[in-house]
Amino acid sequence: MTGLPKVPIEENYNEKDEFRFDGKTALILSGGGARGSYQIGCWKALKDHGIEIAGVYGTSVGSINAAAVAMNNFELAAELWKKIDYSTVMEISPEVESVIQMAKAKAGIREVFMGIKLLMDGRGIDITPLRRYLHSMIDEERIRRSGIDFGLVTYSLSEMKPVMLYIDEIPRGMLVDYILASANYPVFKREEFDRRKFIDGGVYINIPIDMARKRGFIDMVIIDIGTKSLIDRLRVITGAFEKDKTLYIRPKRHFGSPMQFEREITMKYLVEGYLDTLMALGIVQGSYTYIYETEDLLARLFWSIDEETFSRALGILNIERKKTESPMYFYFKQLLPLLEIGLKTCGSKGVLCGLADYTFGLMEVEELGLYSGLDFFEAISARPPTSLESLRGATINEIPLAGLLEMLSLVYRKSRFKVKRPARFDQYRSSLDFLGAK
């Protein structure tokens, strides 16, 4: 606000403070089966953030997604995952159908293991549909011409050793074969060609960071959707990842197993991947949901209320008004420190995001949603405030949450400062809508 005396209002969010890479960037995609759509959501957020990928390296389903990235065709990748289901991955035999139903019903480990054993006795699940699907979607020549380096990991059972190949080492016409060898999940029929039998590369290494290092990359994005292999764990223990400038992204929450190729789960992972990447980049905050705010709204609102509103606000929390007390003194010297401790965060903007996230969790709003400060103030100011009933009894550092929100609602409605959504909110929201956010 112009023309006002200096107050300790935090500076507006600066895009320069976001996570940035200095040089060319490599993308490392782990295995994780049906969770693979998460990586495509992440890729969309990286693109929206202006991070250009110069090399991409994947294991298992990560190699499938790596091919889409190397083709630089996000729309194709999103289409692939939006359409994928059990029938596009495998032949649905009665035995396969039985295991699928057990997984959906969350049967016990013993029952699922017995079902998988039946499949393995028949030498595994036939993934001919996935083979046809990938041949129709992947343009090998486009990948070779793209200028984006590509690499994958598989494991040769015939030689009992890992096979790590870059695009210039894969024989022409064999790219899909090697991708399927990399993504040869243990319950699938083994991939056999070139007199060798292959299994999923994740049995050896699920995060092929060395492939990027050998190509000279220092700036890397790792998207980890699976369990770490022994080699991966050893690298974490020895701090090998810390030698690079690495952005590490992993799902905040999981919605299904690596074998649950169900559209509802796929769509959730697409959206979550996008939101988790915004969080990893330092753009949004939240443990329950995702809060995006760039202004110090609480300070600006308190700065812009009149004396009558201030007295009414204090009365809501049964606080006696002192003659020397101003709204800004009350906020910065009395209320803010208590909220910082209670919410375990620092700064006025951090408190707003933490308070909004905590409140939305109690209100049970959609967790895979992007929310701004305006959404928070509108939610607590709704009439009638039926959604606030679930907050009765909740406190933050002994401050009754319902009373705190009632006070903030009054300040919001009576303040001369008009709250707006951040400038880039609509861009992020548009991307989420494309990915299928609710």
User: How confident is the model over 82-92, as pLDDT tens digits?
Assistant: 999 999 999 88
What pLDDT does 93 receive? 81
Segment among 16-25, 107-116, 223-232, 295-304 with least mean pLDDT: 107-116
Q: Which of 7-11, 14-18, 99-103 is modeled with the greatest confidence? A: 99-103
Determine contact, residues 263/82, Cβ cutoff 8 Å: yes
Judged by average pLDDT, the poorest of 55-64, 137-146, 322-331 is 322-331
| Same domain membership, residue 299 and residue 208 | no
Cβ partners under 8 Å of residue 317, min gap 6: 399, 400, 403, 404, 407
- Give yes or no: residues 265 and 294 share one domain: no
Total domains in the fold of the chain: 3
In a domain, 137, yes or no: yes
Say whether both 55 and 133 belong to one domain. yes
Q: Kindly state whether residues 134 and 248 are assigned to the same domain.
A: yes
In percent, the amount of the chain with pLDDT more than 70 equals 85
30, 37, 48, 60: the active-site residue: 60
64 with 204, same domain: the answer is yes
Residue 117 sits in the same domain as residue 55: no
What DSSP designation does 387 have? G
pTM for this structure?
0.90
Residues 131-156, mean pLDDT to the nearest whole number: 96
How do strand 290-291 and strand 395-396 relate by DSSP bridges?
A: unpaired
Determine whether 158 is an active site residue.
no
Question: What is the per-residue pLDDT for 2?
Answer: 39
How is residue 285 annotated by DSSP? B
Q: 388-430: per-residue pLDDT in tens? A: 666 778 999 999 999 999 999 999 999 999 999 999 999 999 9
**What's the mean pLDDT when you consider all of the chain?**
88
Q: Is residue 163 part of a domain?
A: yes
User: Is 393 among the domain residues?
Assistant: yes
Is 60 part of the annotated catalytic residue set? yes
**Does residue 9 lie in a domain region?**
no
Mean pLDDT of all residues in 118-143:
86
pLDDT higher than threshold 80 for residue 73: yes
Listed range (33-37, 109-113, 265-269) with the worst mean pLDDT? 109-113
Model pLDDT for residues 181-197, shown as the tens digit of each residue? 999 988 889 999 999 99
Q: Which of 100-109, 214-223, 316-325 has the lowest mean pLDDT?
A: 100-109
Does residue 112 sit in the same domain as residue 51? no
Same domain, 120 and 167: no
Cα-Cα-Cα-Cα dihedral sign, residues 144, 147, 152, 158: positive
| Mean local confidence (pLDDT), 271-285 | 96
Using CA atoms, how far apart are residues 142 and 160, in angstroms rounded to an integer? 32
Containing domain of residue 363, as a range? 290-435
50 and 180 both lie in a single domain = yes
Specify whether 103 is located in the same domain as 242.
Answer: no
Residues 98 and 136 in one domain: no
In a domain, 6, yes or no: no
Same domain, 313 and 411: yes
Domain assignment of residue 177, yes or no: yes
Identified catalytic residue from 48, 149, 177, 200: 200
Task: Say if CB 309 and CB 413 are below 8 A apart.
Answer: no
Identify which of 409, 314, 405 has the alpha carbon closest to the alpha carbon of residue 363: 405
Distance CA 50, CA 232 (A): 29
